[in-house]
Amino acid sequence: MARRSFHRPKQCRFCADPDLVIDYKDVDTLRRFTTDHGKIRSRRQTGTCAKHQRKLAKAIKRSRHLALMPFSGEELR
């Protein structure tokens, strides 16, 4: 018998909670949206909507430019 899995659509956490703000200085929040190698996770993996994914990408890039986050992951150093 084949198992059927039920996939619940992921909801954007920034749309669900309007108090959450995407800020380039909030490195702990931004780290959740990057991989171990330092790449930005896709919308399909994180469940964010298109509007907030664009804001996240811009905040992560801004944070990298100001040396708050590394460009590469910790394993590559």
Taking phi first (over 0 means left), then psi (-120 to 50 degrees means alpha), and beta for anything else, what does residue 75 get?
alpha
Other Cβ atoms less than 10 A from the Cβ of 48: the count is 24
Question: Looking at residue 33, which CATH number applies to its domain?
Answer: 4.10.640.10
Instruction: Flag whether the pTM goes above 0.85.
Output: no
Per the domain annotation, does 74 fall within a domain? Answer: no
The string of pLDDT tens digits covering residues 34-46 is 999 999 999 999 9
- Residue 65 — φ and ψ, nearest 5°? -65, -35
Q: Which amino acid is at 57?
A: A
- Mean pLDDT, the chain, integer: 89
Provide the residue range defining the domain that includes 38. Answer: 13-65
How close are the terminal C-alpha atoms of the chain, in Å? 47
Give the residue among 51, 66, 56 at the shortest CA–CA distance from 15: 51
Number of domains in the chain: 1
Give the number of residues written for the chain: 77
